[in-house]
C-alpha cells in the first residue's frame, strides 16, 4: 500500500520534509504516463467564505498551471503559483483518492462496498485527500500526535472534484484554520479562457451551495501575472 503521509519531526525543518515528499512522489509516478483529463489548467474563478485566505498575501489564492492524474485516477498532482508580497511562489502538491471515493452514496462508503466507476470522469469526481497541506497552507490547523519525536499532524484537507471534462474543472476545497475557522473554497479551472455561460452558472450555483456569497467570487484569470 502506498502512502505519502508524513509527520513533522522536531529536528527536521519543513524544507527537508517537502523534499522527502517529492522524492517519494517521483519514485511512485516516475514510470507512469499522465492519464487522459490531465493537462494545463488555469484558474478562472475562485471564491471563499474567508477573503483573507484568497487575498493578495493569502495562501489559498491558487493560480493553477497543471493537473496530472496517475494510478488509475487514484493519484493527482497539481502545480500552481501563490502571489505573496508581490512575488509568485511555485507549489506542487499531491492528493490521493481514498477507496470508494467515487461512490455517490454515503452509506455505500461507510459500509465499505466497492463502487465501480463507469468511466474516467466518474473515477475523478469525488473526494480526494491533500497530502501534507501544511507545507502549502501554513495557517491550517494541526493536531498533536506524540510518538517519539513526532509531534504535529495536519488537520485533514479535502478536495472534492465536482465536475471535470477535457477542458473544464470545478472543485471544492475545505480545511480548518488554526483559529478553528472552517475555510471553504470553490475553484473554476479551464484549459483556455473561453468560458460558456452555462459553465459560469454551474460554478456560481456550486459556490452558493457551499454558503459562499457570490460577491466573494474573484476573476483570477484577469489578475494572473505569474509565470506561465
Summarised one tens digit per residue, pLDDT across range 76-111 is: 999 999 999 999 999 999 998 876 554 443 333 333
Say if residues 124 and 73 touch (Cβ distance below 8 Å). yes
Summarised one tens digit per residue, pLDDT across range 182-224 is: 999 999 999 987 788 999 999 999 999 999 999 999 999 999 9
Residues with Cβ within 8 Å of 178's Cβ and at least 6 positions away in sequence, in order, are 139, 140, 141, 142
- Domain extents in the chain: 34-223
Query: Cell digits for 166?
Result: 477535457
Reported pTM: 0.76
Domain boundaries 34-223, corresponding CATH code: 2.40.128.20
Residue 5, CA distances (Å) to 80, 203, 220 in order: 21, 32, 31
Amino acid at each position: 500500500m502506498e502512502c505519502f503521509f508524513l509527520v513533522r519531526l522536531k529536528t527536521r525543518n519543513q524544507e527537508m520534509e517537502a523534499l522527502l515528499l517529492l522524492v517519494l512522489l517521483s519514485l511512485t509516478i516516475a514510470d507512469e504516463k499522465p492519464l487522459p483529463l490531465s493537462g494545463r489548467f488555469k484558474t478562472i474563478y475562485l471564491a471563499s467564505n474567508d477573503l483573507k485566505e484568497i487575498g493578495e498575501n493569502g495562501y489559498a489564492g491558487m493560480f493553477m498551471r497543471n493537473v496530472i492524474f496517475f494510478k488509475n485516477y487514484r493519484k493527482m498532482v497539481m502545480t500552481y503559483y501563490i502571489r505573496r508580497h508581490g512575488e509568485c511562489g511555485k507549489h506542487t502538491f499531491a492528493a490521493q483518492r481514498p477507496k470508494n471515493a467515487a461512490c455517490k452514496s454515503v452509506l455505500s462508503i461507510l459500509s465499505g462496498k466497492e463502487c465501480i466507476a463507469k468511466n474516467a470522469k466518474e473515477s475523478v469526481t469525488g473526494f480526494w485527500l491533500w497530502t501534507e497541506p501544511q507545507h502549502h497552507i501554513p495557517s491550517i490547523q494541526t493536531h498533536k500526535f506524540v510518538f517519539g519525536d513526532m509531534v504535529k499532524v495536519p488537520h485533514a484537507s479535502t478536495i472534492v472534484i465536482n465536475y471535470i471534462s477535457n477542458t473544464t474543472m470545478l472543485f471544492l476545497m475545505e480545511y480548518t484554520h488554526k483559529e478553528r475557522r472552517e475555510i471553504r473554497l470553490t475553484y473554476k479551472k479551464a484549459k483556455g479562457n473561453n468560458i460558456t455561460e452555462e459553465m459560469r452558472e454551474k460554478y456560481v450555483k456550486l459556490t452558493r451551495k457551499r454558503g459562499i456569497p457570490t460577491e466573494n467570487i474573484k476573476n483570477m484569470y484577469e489578475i494572473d501575472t505569474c509565470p506561465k
